[in-house]
Structure 1
Amino acid sequence: MNELEHYISTYFGLTGSDMQEIASHFSQTKLKKGDFFLKPGEVCRTLSFQRSGLARFYIDDGDQEVTQWISGKDGFVTDLSGLIFNLPSRSHIQALTDSDFYTIQQQDYVRLGERLPQWHHLEKLFIARCFLFMEQRIFSLLSMKAEERYHWLFNLNPELFNQVPLQYLASMMGMTPETLSRIRKKQTSLS
């Protein structure tokens, strides 16, 4: 069982021929640091499972860039509005480091629904997980203090703090880089 099959098995609870059927539609793709997975106005026609590297989801309104999320190993990279509804993206998705992915094309993603009876149930669970995670992010931004948001993200993925420029992390947590530096300095002094 390769890592993609292992992840499909773990994430979706599938084994055997169904898991192999899904895995057979993915191919390996790579992005070099700085390359774009998606730009605003483009329709995302892929769903990727990130094997390695980091990808930054962000919006650029002309005055500032706002980091929405940073995806790393074992995360999914897509724009659901494009993949599901064929709508153009409002976001950039850019590789922060050289990155490797397993990628399925939109037409193969749709065909899985025709081939596997339980695919629609699995898809619903996948989208529900995405929604729950987004709901948690919104909750953290609206209800947590800056220090609590820092701890939430640090507990979720401490490696980001060694690999990602602080201004991106600060933006993603809804704070200024100065606030993030102050919080980090305080945490370091407590350690």
Structure 2
Amino acid sequence: MEEIKKFIDTIYPMNGADWNFFSSKLRTETVKKNTALIRIGEVENYLSFISEGIVRFYIPKEESELTFGFLFENEFVTAYDSFITQTPSHYQIETLTNTTLWRIAFQDLQEVYKKTESGNVIGRRMAENMFLIKSKREISLLHKTAEERYLDLFRERPKLLKQIPLKYIASYIGVTPQALSRIRRRIT
């Protein structure tokens, strides 16, 4: 639980009472590789902190899946739009490795927001950060080539390229696995 405390303190330090209240609501869960954390049509009920592992966001399709996000340890994961609206998700989240999560339920988080001084500030800053990540991805898809997106990914998240199957990386940058192979040959 120490890693989640350190992460939150980088956003906005929680005083002892707030941390004790918040941490009393957290539950740990370890799930195996390839476990769905949420499926299309389900309502997201948890905000989770990845203590260990990798997850991906994707939309299943008949021909191939559309991967649009990855998260690693020391990051929060949730189907955020489903979580805040309490409506069914339009995408799925699955673990790519054995994963350990610290989870807080929607209702418990609402209670944290109401009863702590720092909960709302942390929640707002996390939402702002998620927006910036999403905005950066959209702009990249609209203005950069697949090769530029791959190189950006390589610079920003080299760990991703070592731990994630290339078919998911290809989908993430918006190309086929064959096109990704050609990009990789060109730049090496």
Q: Within 5 Å, which residues of 2 pair with 1:23-62?
A: 23-62=23-62
Q: Within 5 Å, which residues of 2 pair with 1:132-143?
A: 132-143=132-143
Identify the residue that residue 168 of structure 1 maps to in structure 2: 168
Of all paired residues, the percent bearing the same amino acid is 34
Identify the residue that residue 148 of structure 1 maps to in structure 2: 148
Matched letter for residue 28 of structure 1: T
Q: For 2:158, what is the secondary structure of its paired residue?
A: coil
* Aligned residues: CA RMSD: 1.6
CA contact (8 A) 2:11 2:125 kept: no
CA contact (8 A) 1:52 1:101 kept: yes
Q: Distance in 2 between matches of 1:27 and 1:12?
A: 21
Identify the residue that residue 66 of structure 1 maps to in structure 2: 66
CA contact (8 A) 1:170 1:180 kept: yes
- Of 66-75 and 134-143, more deviation after overlay is shown by 66-75
Q: Distance in 2 between matches of 1:123 and 1:85?
A: 15
Q: When the two structures are aligned, how many residues end up with a matched partner?
A: 188
Matched letter for residue 187 of structure 1: I
How far is the alpha carbon of 1:15 from its aligned partner? 4.4
Matched letter for residue 174 of structure 1: G
TM-score, normalisation: structure 1: 0.91
Identify the residue that residue 100 of structure 2 maps to in structure 1: 100
Identify the residue that residue 184 of structure 1 maps to in structure 2: 184
Q: Distance in 2 between matches of 1:139 and 1:31?
A: 33
Q: Distance in 1 between matches of 2:87 and 2:36?
A: 18
CA contact (8 A) 1:4 1:23 kept: no
CA contact (8 A) 2:45 2:83 kept: yes
Cα deviations by residue, 1:66-94 (Å, 9 ceiling, x for unpaired): 00111111121101122111110111111
Q: For 2:148, what is the secondary structure of its paired residue?
A: helix
Unaligned runs of 5+ in 2: none
Do residues 125 (structure 1) and 125 (structure 2) align?
Answer: yes
